Amino acid sequence: MALIDRFFERAVKRGELTVIHADGTHRDFGAPDPALQPVTIQFGPGAASAILRDPSLGAAEAFMDGRLVIEQGDVLDLLALMTGNNRWEDATAALEPKPFSRLLNNVMHRIGRYNMARQAKRNVAHHYDLSGRLYDLFLDADRQYSCAYFTDPGNSLEQAQLDKKAHIAAKLAIEPGMRVLDIGCGWGGMALYLHEKTGAEVVGITLSEEQLKVARERAAARGVHGKVRFELIDYRAMTGQFDRIVSVGMFEHVGTPQYRTFFRKVRELLTPEGVMLLHTIGRAGAPGVTDAFTLKYIFPGGYIPALSEIAQGYEGLRMFPTDIEVLRLHYAHTLKAWYDRTVAAKDEIVALYDERFFRMWTFYLAGSYVGFLNGGLVNYQLQFSRSRTALPITRDYMVEREMALRADAPEALREAG
């Protein structure tokens, strides 16, 4: 029996997987399961050995290069089948890379996580300075490239992203006349929303030149010059004082050695009564390493923190952790919507790049989706304040403000949701 067959015998118990080897032989694994779609894959030369060395990177590169062809189902079905048999809470290890690959991944992770200022801009450009048209094809119209908030799993992506902004704005408890800093502002959607709904003056900062260009164009189009501005600057170089700070989907790029620097800078930038809201992908379990596929192709220098690592960043800085919320399946719903839109836009994405890029992008989105569906990934929203009295002593104000913001949403979106 081939080694890869022994691997699949251990890894696939639920759902049906058919493997067509490079020599034409067929093997069937698992058993029918209504929750998992049947999948048939065909291996080209070298694909099986690459997967054995490192299941994640090996499968990704074989799929990207056309050496792993999915004959029945698609890449999301394949990854859902494999991870559905190896759920995080079940603590199985069939999908772990071999010892040498694990050692190499650890070394590369430790090298990559030292995200110094000179590297940060290059790392951001690798991902966020891709064609704006690509992001238009799979994101919502506001280009919210972070976890949406699904008050109902059946809501549209547009509704869920609007509700995410309301959820965060409510926690920030912004009052008229306040100054707000958005660290990692993306294409400007959150900053513009906060100004529109609260009247606050907002400064958004980014390291992506493409994002900066779009954000400034959007601010100009809305006529909010002087009230909302965007700058190309590293958070470490920022100066001034802000009543509120928000950071959504940026902390994953900070790097663990810089967590202390990040929180120290946040405290420095906050007024004595200031409040900060941090929204980040996180690990439900212990610290780990970034997988080789993500480091190589998607987010060089990126790392998803455990809650314990975040805590080590702010402990001792005399900031109160005033609220912690764990969002479990919200990003799974978000990623599924992004994946579906990407697949629907295949022809245009291939025209923008090529077939290999399209396969890489779908592998990235599908892999991220199953990471939240079956793996150990969650989203954390952590609220901090320098003052013990800056916020109400119960969470009721969050609910009240959020309901008011959602009631103020466009009628078309409320009906769609």
Name the fold adopted by 117-416: Rossmann fold (3.40.50)
Tokens of 97: 């890379």
Question: At residue 235, what are phi and psi to the nearest 5 degrees?
Answer: -60, -30
Name the fold adopted by 3-97: Nonspecific Lipid-transfer Protein; Chain A (3.30.1050)
pLDDT of amino acid 229:
97
pLDDT of amino acid 55:
85
What value, to the nearest 5°, has the Cα angle with vertex 129 and ends 124 and 172? Answer: 60
194 to 55, 171, 189, 223, 285: CA distances (angstroms)? 43, 12, 9, 15, 33
d(CA 17, CA 59): 15
Q: Which residue in this structure is represented by tokens 């190499």?
A: 104
pLDDT of amino acid 102:
47
Domain residue spans of the chain: 3-97, 117-416
pLDDT of amino acid 257:
92
- Provide the 8-state DSSP code for 205: E
Q: Are the C-beta atoms of residues 145 and 249 closer than 8 Å to each other?
A: yes
Contacting residues for 101 by C-beta, under 8 A, at least 6 apart:
53, 54, 57, 292
d(CA 388, CA 402): 22
**Which pLDDT tens digits describe the chain residue by residue (417 residues)?**
488 999 999 999 999 999 999 999 999 999 999 999 999 999 999 999 999 888 889 999 999 999 999 999 999 999 999 999 999 998 665 555 554 444 444 444 444 455 555 566 566 555 656 788 999 999 999 999 999 999 999 999 999 999 999 999 999 999 999 999 999 999 999 999 999 999 999 999 999 999 999 999 999 999 998 899 999 999 999 999 999 999 999 999 999 999 999 999 999 999 999 999 999 999 999 999 999 999 999 988 889 999 999 999 999 999 999 999 999 999 999 999 999 999 999 999 999 999 999 999 999 999 999 999 999 999 999 999 999 999 999 999 999 999 999 998 775 465 444
- Write out the H or E segment, with its range, that includes residue 222: helix 209-222
Q: Are the C-beta atoms of residues 148 and 160 closer than 8 Å to each other?
A: yes
Q: Which residue in this structure is represented by tokens 């990235």?
A: 364
